[in-house]
Structure 1
Amino acid sequence: MDPVTSGILVLIALVFLMAIGVPIAFALGGISVVALVLNQGMAELTYFGETFFGSIASFGFVAIPMFILMGAAVASSPTGRDLYRSLDLWMGRLPGGLAISNIAACSVFAALSGSSPATCAAIGKLGIPEMRKRGYPDGVAAGCIAAGGTLGILIPPSVTMIVYGISTETSIGRLFIAGALPGVMLAGLFMLWTLIACKLAGGYDTPSPLMKVATQVKENVEGNLRALMRVVPFLVVVIAILFALYGGVATPSEAAGVGAFFCLALAIIVYRMWQFKPLKTIMRDALRESVMIMLIIAAAEIFAFALSSMYITQTLAESIAALEVNRWVLMGAINVFLLVAGFFLPPVAVIVMTAPILLPIVVAANFDPYWFAVILTINLEIGLITPPVGLNLFIIKGITPDIALRDILMGSLPYALCMVLGIVILCFFPQIALWLPDVLMN
């Protein structure tokens, strides 16, 4: 069977398995085993174990469970509540300010946790009921949280950037820096659309009279400032981690280990989480997510090995490289491919399977690999708020079951267009992603 036909059949089988609810890691692994046996024979399975375990044996992958543990410690503590209260103190009284403060809270919490689902859950549980109580439309209330949660895979420290760096053998520290300014830019675009949406819908807070505002602020300022002071130590830990990475003081794995220890210690000390139950929850959540990601990475590596053994990836790469088109047309085609892949697969799986194939093509077309990492990540963020997978949509639905999924989706789609606009801006101004790494790391 020729590689093109084999590739189409493998893709159809993979989509079918995921459509009937088979977990992604098992779908990738199962299709890989069947494809290898049918095309290469039983002897090819002798490489299965070596490939499966060898793919996650890299020391760099130690950073993933450590950063996840760090995020779990933050997500399981009341940090999200305190962060929300602090930002609401300064922005919540402005027209549309509560929704904007929710996006700001998502941005900061994303840097603390590095997890999109955790960000949606932590900020959404507080922010969505409060916005609805103050008259914000359901679509705006749910959409801004779902979109703000996507920033968790772009704003450093980011697990997906670690996976990209290991898969493509690029500098993880430089990848982290490259995602910082685009993350701020996206947050700014989200805030701008939120303000427009609130004004169009007419469902935003009208500021209270000056005396009433002054009285309310005076009553709440002390408690909210105390909440802010409880968040500051976690922010200091994240800043210290990034400084250690950028300054070459520690490797990503070392920085992640120290960060996980200090965030866990702060959660215990600051929020008095001495009991066994909350600590068990933190460890359980971190273990569950780490195992899931590692299984997806290992299964995706097996899948990539199967495609390579069947000469599918080589044929695809040669076909793309042989296209005599403008490099921007090529980049547009790659973005469409990544967008479609992100609709069905989680970011980690897409990166492991596609980044090693696409990077040589991207570099040959004279694009910067670190700029491409940011473009790829934003593309995958879109998949988090679009069906059929749309993880963040279902997180929000779980938090607020009385809001129709259609309203959540319609409220989130404009933010997906903001991400598309962000990609276009980065294409015209790549220095938004490259300037800071160039300055800090020469």
Structure 2
Amino acid sequence: MDPVTAGILVAIGLIVLMAIGTPIAFALGAISLIALVADRGIVELTYFGETFFDRIAEFGFVAIPMFIMMGAAVASSPTGRDLYRSLDLWLGKLPGGLAISNIGACSIFAALSGSSPATCAAIGKMGIPEMRKRGYPDGVAAGCIAAGGTLGILIPPSVTMIIYGISTETSIGRLFIAGVVPGFMLAGLFMVWTLIACKLAGGYDNPMAINSEQVKQTIRQNVDANLKALVRVLPFLAVVLGILFALYGGVATPSEAAGVGAFMCLALAIIIYRMWQVKPIKLIMRDSLRESVMIMLIIAAAEVFAYALSSLFITQTVAGAIADLEVNRWVLMGVINVFLLVAGFFLPPVAVIVMTAPILLPIILSANFDPYWFAVILTINLEIGLITPPVGLNLFIINSIAPDISLRNVLMGSLPYALCMVLGIVLLCLFPGLALWLPDLLMG
């Protein structure tokens, strides 16, 4: 069977399996096994298990469950509540300050947890009801949280960046720092659109303008509690800064830094929030184990899938066809962006990175694009997939938090933020230094 026909059949089979609800790891593994056995016979079963387990046996993957545990410890504690209160204290007086506080809280909580769903859930549970109570439009209240949650896979420490680094054999520390400026650039774009959206919707209720004296008195009464909340959050921020310092200072490897970070965040959650009972600790371990196993299964199955594509010469054929296109390199980058965008609509970020990064990297390098800059571009494309249908994980999380806001309103409120991300990609293409300046400054 020629590679083109084999590729079409594999793609159709994978789409069918996912369409009937097969988990992505099992869909990848099943279609890979079927393709290999059909092409090479039953003997391929001998290599299936070896390929499956060899990939996840790499030491670098130890960082993934550690960072996940670190995020679970933060997400399971009231850290998100305290962070939200602290930012509301300082930004609540600004025009649209509550919405800005939510996006700022999402940005910081994303750095603490490294998880988009956890960020949406932790900040959304408090932010959405409070914004609606103060008169913010439902679309803005839902959209800014859904979009702010996506920053969890860009602002370091990021699990997706670790997976990209291992898949492409690039520096994880450099990848982390490449996401800092673009991450806060996106947060800034989100804040600007939030203010514009509020004005277009007829404004919002400024808490310092409505029932002014009563609200001011309430805020004064809450200042002490909010300052204490800030003090409780600062140790977690110190842990994240310590991890980044250890990575960029050459003090520790990503796996070592992740292990220490997980222990410190777990210890801080227990000590600061008095989580002495077995139940919350058990919940943290359960969530960490569940998400880690899911990600590792996807990575292992995607490795088998990549092995199957390579064995059937599908990868080589596709890469050769793209490389042979006599087009401007920016047209090529546009085609790759569209491909990543469509893939992000249907697949989780981890699966897209593991499946496509090794294939796309040689093409990116041959077109003289920087692999660290491309990592940021890829990640933003995958962020868009988190707030767009049909998968749109963050949309469903927001809908579960505020079920009285229809999924349509959540989607319509989120789409302008997706356009902000597209604008972010354009800015990165025009000014690559947004992603490369800080890594070059700190790491040479």
Which 4+ residue blocks in structure 1 deviate beyond 6 angstroms? none
Distance 2:143 2:5 in 1: 40
**AA aligned opposite 1:283:** M
Shift of residue 131, structure 1, vs aligned partner: 1.0
Q: What corresponds to 1:139 in structure 2?
A: 139
Aligned length: 442
Q: What corresponds to 1:261 in structure 2?
A: 263
Q: What corresponds to 1:73 in structure 2?
A: 73
Shift of residue 211, structure 1, vs aligned partner: 5.2
Distance 1:148 1:64 in 2: 22
Distance 2:40 2:334 in 1: 35
Shift of residue 20, structure 1, vs aligned partner: 1.3
Deviations 1:308-351 (A, max 9, x none): 11110000000001111100000000101100111111111000
Distance 1:98 1:217 in 2: 13
Query: Any idea what SS the aligned residue of 1:273 has?
Result: coil
Is the CA contact 1:93–1:205 (under 8 Å) kept in the aligned structure 2?
no
Shift of residue 92, structure 1, vs aligned partner: 2.2
Q: What corresponds to 2:193 in structure 1?
A: 193
Q: What corresponds to 2:155 in structure 1?
A: 155
How do residues 403-442 of structure 1 correspond to structure 2 at under 5 angstroms? Answer: 403-442=405-444
Distance 2:304 2:164 in 1: 17
Is the CA contact 2:134–2:207 (under 8 Å) kept in the aligned structure 1?
no
Is the CA contact 2:80–2:109 (under 8 Å) kept in the aligned structure 1?
yes
Distance 2:203 2:156 in 1: 33
Q: 1:333 aligns with which of 324, 332, 335?
A: 335
Residue range with higher mean Cα deviation, 432-441 or 208-217: 208-217
Is the CA contact 1:94–1:205 (under 8 Å) kept in the aligned structure 2?
no
Residue range with higher mean Cα deviation, 398-407 or 417-426: 398-407
Q: What corresponds to 2:249 in structure 1?
A: 247
Deviations 1:229-262 (A, max 9, x none): 0000000000000000011100000000000000
**AA aligned opposite 2:417:** Y
TM-score normalised by the chain length of structure 1 = 0.99
Percent identity over the alignment?
82
Deviations 1:87-120 (A, max 9, x none): 1112223332111110000000000000000000
Q: Does the alignment pair 1:280 with 2:285? A: no
Structure 2 residues not aligned, in runs of 5+: none
Q: 1:351 aligns with which of 350, 353, 357?
A: 353
Query: Any idea what SS the aligned residue of 1:55 has?
Result: helix
Distance 1:41 1:205 in 2: 68
**AA aligned opposite 1:179:** G
Is the CA contact 2:134–2:206 (under 8 Å) kept in the aligned structure 1?
no
TM-score normalised by the chain length of structure 2 = 0.98
Deviations 1:273-303 (A, max 9, x none): 0000000000000000000000000000011
Q: What corresponds to 2:43 in structure 1?
A: 43
Q: What corresponds to 2:273 in structure 1?
A: 271
Q: What corresponds to 1:316 in structure 2?
A: 318
Is the CA contact 1:29–1:302 (under 8 Å) kept in the aligned structure 2?
yes
Distance 1:264 1:208 in 2: 38
Deviations 1:339-394 (A, max 9, x none): 01111111110000100010011011000010000000001000000111111111
Query: Any idea what SS the aligned residue of 2:179 has?
Result: helix
Q: Does the alignment pair 1:236 with 2:238? A: yes
Shift of residue 399, structure 1, vs aligned partner: 1.1
Q: What corresponds to 1:389 in structure 2?
A: 391
Distance 1:10 1:192 in 2: 44
Is the CA contact 1:237–1:263 (under 8 Å) kept in the aligned structure 2?
yes
Structure 1 residues not aligned, in runs of 5+: none
Distance 1:204 1:61 in 2: 46
